[in-house]
Structure 1
């Protein structure tokens, strides 16, 4: 009998994560920064969609027609349920890549996305995916792909191999993957305590193992314990994608576009003297010790004229999605923490403090700042999660109904679980972080309970029936009165700071 898992962990469900880099709307800012023409995304595909959160939130929140596959039937079943509830028409399957690629009812795609999956599959499946991209990605279409990268994994790869060997050889199969992961972590920690020469040569390994012990076991199972696990150099990725006629466009991680927070002046100058784009990226990975790349590739890049680039940039629409008072003027890059220039960021944030959609052109008029400063600030603020791009008004209107349906369902699920912490925004075209308690407060509002005390009482009744209590600063809150008091404080904060933003995002 063939192994349908192909060596991939299938006996433990993947996390209910949402990955904003998969949102096609984010292409525009990155491509325009690189001076490239960005395609309109009518048809999109996600390969290896996990629980289907990204595919479904993007389908519900946009007018893009989504397709995708994930080989795990349990995950695909949940994803299909979400697609049915939203009514957005996403076509999601539980087929292996080869079977999905052989379908005759798939359109050509403007956009194909893979988040992480490339690092965990066999070379055979990689060849299937590249051939699928070659046949199905339109001219001018974009591939988003993220993957574990060298040289960042060079020191950890031997320990990862040791842990998977322990899980396979020493770990008891009947105990399940979680037990085997715990056993492998404990064994590795004991090994490092003996001060082997490997640990002395790689002193950061002990900290990474400690951090791994604190992480969700479902995440660790899929990140480290698959049969296939291959961090790949950028140049190797370029070689893999060559048959699909893809060219590197730019990073999908916005902070990578800001050299000053990632590279010293000497490093920037060194890279600027490398004429070949791909070799320059390979070299840059050594400078930042890259561990995980998030990249856009394009089938036939087209360079915009400076005039076209400037005009399209000024038409981009954005909105502030954090309370003005909560936006930090400090960001982290590979060089550490950097302080943003108050004279640039304060006028921009003040102009956006009403949380209404504004174009970069209008922002330029409102602040009287040089446009180059505004543009760079928006990249930083979007990369930091303080700002989101906004769709066209016609797209927002068409996506509202499907967002309402999927958000109502997700809020209902929050009554019994904290697994899903995202809702769909027809404005941003994708998912927005909304925690479990905030979802419960939204449910309370939908039933006419709009005062913080009412919201808190509503949430506590749901939690109490399941013998659940709040935890604050690592300590469980024991009494009903104290739980209600804490929920009331959170509900008050929700009303004061978040409701207005969720309205601006079309979620409320």
Structure 2
């Protein structure tokens, strides 16, 4: 593992934030499924392979009574991540430089149990022995009702990506600039495929080339931005990248006393079939277990990536599978927030058309965003249940067990939440940030440098228009009032604001 440590110290992995792995979402899913998950206020959070901690830092800022720990093999990443947290004044956040495979009994005893464990971008990218160490660590660290998140590449969808990975490894072998050579050869391959597809007469071979071109186009869109070089290096040019089949993953975690719950996107519940009666009936008849059904969907949908939630096997109470039973009681425990788009009297969530029958419900979400709403906010409970289920089934909706408040501006009372100013200052003053700017839901927050420079002065004002005084002439802002309005909306929708009592 020393080679891996040296590699990550030399080429650190940019630390993004992933909404699917947010403890807020994991907790909400646990409540939704009536699993009595640990409360977030005092939760203990652990991320394995935490890099600089960007995926767990926003949560630590919001929930200051929680304990947030990250473990990573890279001293470069853990040291800088701890410095960032210290500069923010966080007391509940720690990154530890440790080899997961070499954790001792003293480590497990000293760190204790954790309620939510995240292993994003780790399982598929380590050796078999480390992979075993990850599952063993999750089993030992996980509290009785705790939930762990594991993301990993899966076949059959990753098969073509595996070919492109091998192509890049072959092209760059022995070269000092492996990345530059690999990217150049991808361009060469792309040019060839364009010509070959025009000239190819064999229909079968042509279809095969089309599939490779589709995957290659996806990959090239990533490689266009130099900021993504870290991703190419640590994914496609990584020493280890071993996809698996979903059913084999379930078998493997079972050996460590863990069981599959469902995927973080809730597809097991809301997209349990293909939507085509003939094929769904066939799967229902011949593949009766849920894991078998999900594996069939992976084959038929050519799925390449999964974000699975797992728990200790004891939660099954001797059953061989987890049964989902959703009632109005479970739905009423959730708060939902959704950034809807309105077109021609219809509502869309991330370009997905929502059922017009529930437009009255969706109108209330649209008008109140980013305020979260629950079943209690609606008089017509039956219609609201169906509308809420439709929103929850879309992974772009935010679900939480705590109300997400739309903070309206109040003179002299509206301020940035604790630590937010220092958080913004990090991104303002750092030329190449190593973490992603995100809110406590792990949703990306998109601020320009100019917006950040004005935002850090928010606590100095009593009236919103006073922010205009911090706009510099050299920025050549044509409409200062509109600039401030846009900035406030970003702060409001990112839940960065609070109203304080005088």
Normalised by the length of structure 1, the TM-score is: 0.78
Give distance in 2, aligned partners of 1:328 and 1:445. 36
8 Å contact from structure 1 (residues 8, 226) kept in 2: no
8 Å contact from structure 2 (residues 31, 401) kept in 1: no
8 Å contact from structure 1 (residues 147, 231) kept in 2: yes
Matched, 1:76 2:64: no
8 Å contact from structure 1 (residues 115, 146) kept in 2: yes
Match of 1:161 among 163, 166, 182: 166
Distance 1:486 1:149, change over 3 A: farther
Matched, 1:443 2:443: no
Match of 1:93 among 86, 91, 96: 96
Normalised by the length of structure 2, the TM-score is: 0.79
Q: Which residue of 1 aligns with 2:237?
A: 225
Distance 1:506 1:131, change over 3 A: same
Match of 2:423 among 398, 409, 412: 409
Give distance in 2, aligned partners of 1:184 and 1:94. 36
Match of 2:220 among 202, 213, 220: 213
Indicate the SS of the match to 1:293: strand
8 Å contact from structure 1 (residues 140, 301) kept in 2: yes
Distance 1:75 1:214, change over 3 A: same
For residues 467-482 of structure 1, what are the structure 2 equivalents within 5 Å? Answer: 481=476
Distance 1:444 1:417, change over 3 A: farther
Give distance in 2, aligned partners of 1:319 and 1:248. 27
Q: Which residue of 1 aligns with 2:335?
A: 317
Give distance in 1, aligned partners of 2:465 and 2:47. 41
Distance 1:68 1:328, change over 3 A: farther
Matched, 1:389 2:404: no
Distance 1:487 1:194, change over 3 A: farther
Give distance in 1, aligned partners of 2:457 and 2:344. 25
Matched, 1:370 2:383: yes
Indicate the SS of the match to 1:203: helix
Tell me the alpha carbon deviations over residues 250-292 of structure 1, each in whole angstroms, 9 at most, x when there is no partner. 1101456432896434444344333212212111111221111
Q: Which residue of 2 aligns with 1:121?
A: 126
Distance 1:502 1:5, change over 3 A: closer
Q: Which residue of 2 aligns with 1:293?
A: 306
Give distance in 2, aligned partners of 1:122 and 1:338. 39
CA RMSD of aligned residues (A): 3.9
Per-residue deviation at 1:60?
2.0
For residues 214-363 of structure 1, what are the structure 2 equivalents within 5 Å? Answer: 214-215=221-222, 216-254=228-266, 257-259=269-271, 263-273=275-285, 274-299=287-312, 300-301=314-315, 309-320=327-338, 329-330=347-348, 338-350=352-364, 353-355=367-369, 360-363=374-377
User: What is the aligned residue count?
Assistant: 465
Q: Which residue of 2 aligns with 1:466?
A: none
Q: Which residue of 2 aligns with 1:476?
A: none
Distance 1:286 1:391, change over 3 A: same
Per-residue deviation at 1:20?
1.4
Indicate the SS of the match to 1:315: coil
Match of 2:69 among 67, 70, 75: 67
Q: Which residue of 2 aligns with 1:203?
A: 210
Per-residue deviation at 1:34?
4.7
Matched, 1:422 2:414: no
Q: Which residue of 1 aligns with 2:22?
A: 23
Indicate the SS of the match to 2:130: helix
Give distance in 2, aligned partners of 1:213 and 1:507. 45
Give distance in 2, aligned partners of 1:406 and 1:156. 39
Distance 1:86 1:119, change over 3 A: farther
Tell me the alpha carbon deviations over residues 227-247 of structure 1, each in whole angstroms, 9 at most, x when there is no partner. 111111111211221222111
Indicate the SS of the match to 2:293: helix
Q: Which residue of 1 aligns with 2:10?
A: 11
Per-residue deviation at 1:486?
7.9
Per-residue deviation at 1:144?
0.6
8 Å contact from structure 2 (residues 262, 268) kept in 1: no
Range moving further from structure 2, 137-146 or 369-378 = 369-378
**Stretches of structure 2 lacking an aligned partner (at least 5 in a row):** 223-227, 317-321, 408-413
Per-residue deviation at 1:402?
11
Range moving further from structure 2, 272-281 or 313-322 = 313-322
Per-residue deviation at 1:408?
2.4
Give distance in 2, aligned partners of 1:92 and 1:326. 49
Per-residue deviation at 1:157?
1.3
